[in-house]
Structure 1
């Protein structure tokens, strides 16, 4: 376990179409740890346009990054393209073995899976895509944050803050995580008890599934294609 004043280098994979809260929620939490350096990683340093239109400038390229204490992959609609992005997948395979923690938020876990980094691990994902984790040999767990050895995965979008607080505890201690939670006044009181398929009315769950049906089908096809490529790599 790292001391609070130890230098920690944390990398976030960036790509067009990532969900901004998947990135900014955890990054805000983790950057509050003393001595933390955040690297925003992409193949170049051109601005990356995320899913709600913001332009974010990476500060480190894959080639410039030699080692990290932690790697995190956010999710988002652009994740589908990343399943076929061999440069990103190859970077993850290269950097992960030297990381203390290999992590993701939302459908970023599918990218980890496509890189071959979740086989044999418990993991989570956005609730609409949990079933796709098994394609990569992972065991899907319907929880907000799942820790299995040095893999920590967060569920959909807003779970990124919960996820990051668990990461802080893992890298430092519980007290530090609690201090950061209080600094952020992270005290969620949602107006509706509808943030999970376990609590949402059935008709709401069905309507969301129906609205996302074609997109989820495209995402599953990308996962299956990535899994086939992984098999070919091993053969």
Structure 2
């Protein structure tokens, strides 16, 4: 690896900030890492939960990255059909050592044609959409297939980042980062996955998710059609 490891995280409107800030906290502690927050313009970008994020560099000025990472959130419904963003990702992926995502950020990688033939994971509510982009869905916290590292929903971003930190700097360094962050999760409830959540909790959540899932379905169908047209 070069002396400086350039790690770039995409910033976009309505991203889930923990998808970005969890890995950011890990990556910022990797020896030699220079972390970039990337968007089209240098201006505050609203997340999906009050917090706004300020990019550090634009698409146009971004150097070749060793790691490109796309977080998730409701804003990915727009990003899967954002031609400028998809073009940026394709160009970066051509020279990057690792092409990565957290949560529904994997759908944006897929829309850019970067997961075709790869195993990948995403948020449990969006798992069925990966196949539209030629990816094989895998229900896991972190999925590694060659140089594609994808994390599951939101909190899995820390697991993903530690896994990648071990690749970049060795397991001992990754363990030191984990210890420094006191990442030792012990959730107060056993409800963090639809496979283990109480049925009544899942039943109450599903209708609340229905409108956003329908918007996502339409966005993914459009993005998949764009890919088909580009390939023909």
Residue 175 (structure 2) aligns with = 178
Residue 107 of structure 2: which of 102, 110, 119 is its match? 110
Cα offset for 1:68?
0.4
**Number of positions where the alignment pairs a residue of Structure 1 with one of Structure 2:** 232
Cα offset for 1:191?
0.3
- TM (norm. structure 2) is 0.98
Q: Give deviations 1:30-59, integer Å, cap 9, x for gaps.
A: 110111101110011011111112121111
Conservation of the 8 A alpha-carbon contact between 2:31 and 2:169: no
Conservation of the 8 A alpha-carbon contact between 1:41 and 1:61: yes
Cα offset for 1:65?
1.4
RMSD over aligned Cα atoms? 1.0
Residue 136 of structure 2: which of 136, 139, 142 is its match? 139
Residue 7 (structure 1) aligns with = 4
Say which SS state the counterpart of residue 196 (structure 2) adopts. coil
Residue 101 (structure 1) aligns with = 98
Residue 58 of structure 1 pairs with residue 67 of structure 2: no
Say which SS state the counterpart of residue 16 (structure 1) adopts. coil
Cα offset for 1:83?
1.4
Cα offset for 1:203?
2.0
Q: 5+ unaligned residues in a row in structure 1: which ranges?
A: none
Residue 201 of structure 2: which of 199, 204, 218 is its match? 204
Alignment of 1:15-164 (within 5 A): 15-164=12-161
Q: Distance in 2 between the 1:53 and 1:91 partners? A: 27
Conservation of the 8 A alpha-carbon contact between 2:71 and 2:104: yes
Cα offset for 1:15?
0.3
- TM (norm. structure 1) is 0.97
Say which SS state the counterpart of residue 72 (structure 1) adopts. strand
Q: Give deviations 1:85-140, integer Å, cap 9, x for gaps.
A: 10000000111010010000000000000100000000000001101000101000
Q: Distance in 1 between the 2:124 and 2:200 partners? A: 16
- Give structure 1 regions of 4+ aligned residues with deviation exceeding 3 angstroms: none
Cα offset for 1:221?
1.0
Q: Distance in 1 between the 2:171 and 2:52 partners? A: 34
